Structures are given as C-alpha cells and as structure tokens.
Amino acid sequence: MSAPFRRLFSPSLSLDAFAQCACRRAPRAAPFEQARCFSSSPATFSGHSKWATIKHDKAKNDAGKSKQRALLTNDITHAVKLNGPDPNMNPRLALALTTAKKAQIPKATIEAAIARGQGLSTSGAALENVVLETMLPGSVAAVIECQTDNKLRTLADLRLMIKETGGTVSTVGYMFEKKGRIILQKKDGVGADEVLEPAIEAGAEDVQDLDDGRVVLYTDPSDTKTIGETVAKAMGMEIAESEIIYDPNEDTMVPLDDAEVAAKLGEFVDEVQEESGIQGVYLNWAKGSISDELWDELASKTAI
C-alpha cells in the first residue's frame, strides 16, 4: 500500500510552510515575456522571401534551358531541310545531333526535329503550315508561324496564350513583308562587301553583315533556294540557314518605352517558342527608351 500523502513531503516542511514558500508566491512570466528573454531583436521570417528567390532563379534557369533546347532542335531541323535526314551524308546534321545529345535533349525531341525538317510529324503524317497574326500589348504586332499535324489544337493553344498576355488575334500581316533569308557561314576575310556583287547578280534584294561575322541575304521567297546555292558556290561558303520569314516594315516599327510591357512581351515569346513546331515569331518592335540590357535580352529571343 502506498505511503500516506503527507509522507511525500519533507518532515521539516509542513503544508502551511510549503504554501507560504517564496518560490510558490513568485509571479509567473507571461508566455511572450519568456520568449522575449532569448533575444532583444524582433523576430524575422525569411521563409517566403527565400522561396520566392529560389522560384525566380529556377524559372530563369528553366527558361535558359528551354531556349537552348529550341536553338539545338532548330539547328537539326535546318540541317535536314538543307541536306537531308541522313547524318552520314549530312555533316552539319551529324554535328547538330552530337551537340543535342551532349545537351541531353530527349530522343523523342530529336526525332521530332528531324521529321519536321522533312515536313512530317513523328507519325509520318504531313505537317500543315499555320500562320497566326496578333496585336500584343504596347501595340506591337506579331506573326507566329508553325508547322503542325493538328491545326485546331495548335490554334487553340496559341490563342489562349495571346489572350492571357492581353493581346488579340488581329490582321497585322500588312505590317510585314514576306522574304527569303539565307545566312552564310562565317568565312575569314569575307563580309557583305565581298558578297554583294555575286549576290546582286544572282538576284538577291539585300546583303547585310551580322554581329557574329556571318552574312545574310534577303531574296524574293520563290528564289531563296536558287540564290542561296548560287552565291554559296561562287564564294566558296556554306549555307547556315535558308528559310522564309516575315520582315517588319520600317514605317510600322513600334518603340518599346515601357519596361513592364517589354518584359511581358519577352515572356510571351518564350512561352510561344515552347510550343511544338514553332518556326518563327516575328514582331515589329524597336528599342525605344527601355534599357540596353532589357533590349538585348528581348532581341536575342527572336535574333537571326
């Protein structure tokens, strides 16, 4: 049997003395006073800010990877268009495939790029050309060109992107001119001045130097292939790209003066280029008063 309750206390301390003990009468600190004794500085909560930073950095890295993937797959498609789908007979395609594999581009994406270069889907069905014209925020006009095996689905996806950006599907084709564009690989000592004469003789409309040392020719769309091959042979140069583009008319160019609108347009271009089969996004924007850094970033999204 357990000892009587009174035996739990020391014989020298009666119940009355226990009740009168100073430690029993000491006031208890409020919970917040107890917490405050650890530090005199206010508490800070950085979890949300830290997560926002991580999320922003991840989005930036993902965008960079998406852009790299788009560039590599476009290289494959252009190589197939120029010299066929057999890498044994197409050195440029072989190099593009090697680069894509090193960058860990999925096999299915590579196969789709090769098929697209032949005008086919991965299932072997013929691709259909789709062109969508739109007016975007800031009164910037855009022409989006793609190849797809499902026209209705592609148009629905693009229209949703346009709507979410604040743009509208609208006829803006008159602000652009359809041209053939041929880009010649860089060759030491050869620039637009050296290429000009044989290019004009072949029927080219314009010749320009690019910042990376390559030369670009503009032609009538129907003569693109013939002129490109003629000039390349005459100059002993290789064709890097040959395609039909929508070139904005100089008198319709829209200067970008609002950095927020400019950033929104950049995000739209990134999103559209993620769509499978996109051939090009052409805009009639110009630098305006936005920063050089922002303009360079935007220009790189649709650069040649």
Confidence category of residue 289, pLDDT binned at 50, 70, 90: very high
- Residue 165: the pLDDT is 95
Average pLDDT taken over every residue of the chain? 81
Fold of 58-126: Arc Repressor Mutant, subunit A (1.10.10)
- Cα atoms in the 13 Å half-sphere on the side-chain side of 90: 23
Q: pTM (2 decimals)?
A: 0.69
Closest CA to 67 of 274, 263, 265, 267: 274
Whole-number percent of the chain with pLDDT over 90: 49
Question: Bigger pLDDT: 18 or 77?
Answer: 77
Helices 192-202 and 224-235: crossing angle in degrees, nearest 10, is 130
Confidence category of residue 61, pLDDT binned at 50, 70, 90: low
Closest CA to 182 of 170, 161, 198: 198
Give CA–CA dist 75/137, Å, rounded: 31
Whole-number percent of the chain with pLDDT over 70: 77
Give the tens place of pLDDT for each residue, 18-27: 445 544 454 5
- Residue 35: the pLDDT is 42
- Residue 285: the pLDDT is 96
Question: Bigger pLDDT: 35 or 254?
Answer: 254
H-only helix segments in the chain:
15-20, 22-25, 31-36, 47-83, 91-102, 107-117, 151-165, 192-202, 224-235, 259-273, 292-301
- Residue 64: the pLDDT is 55
Mean pLDDT calculated for residue range 89-93: 84
- Residue 66: the pLDDT is 61
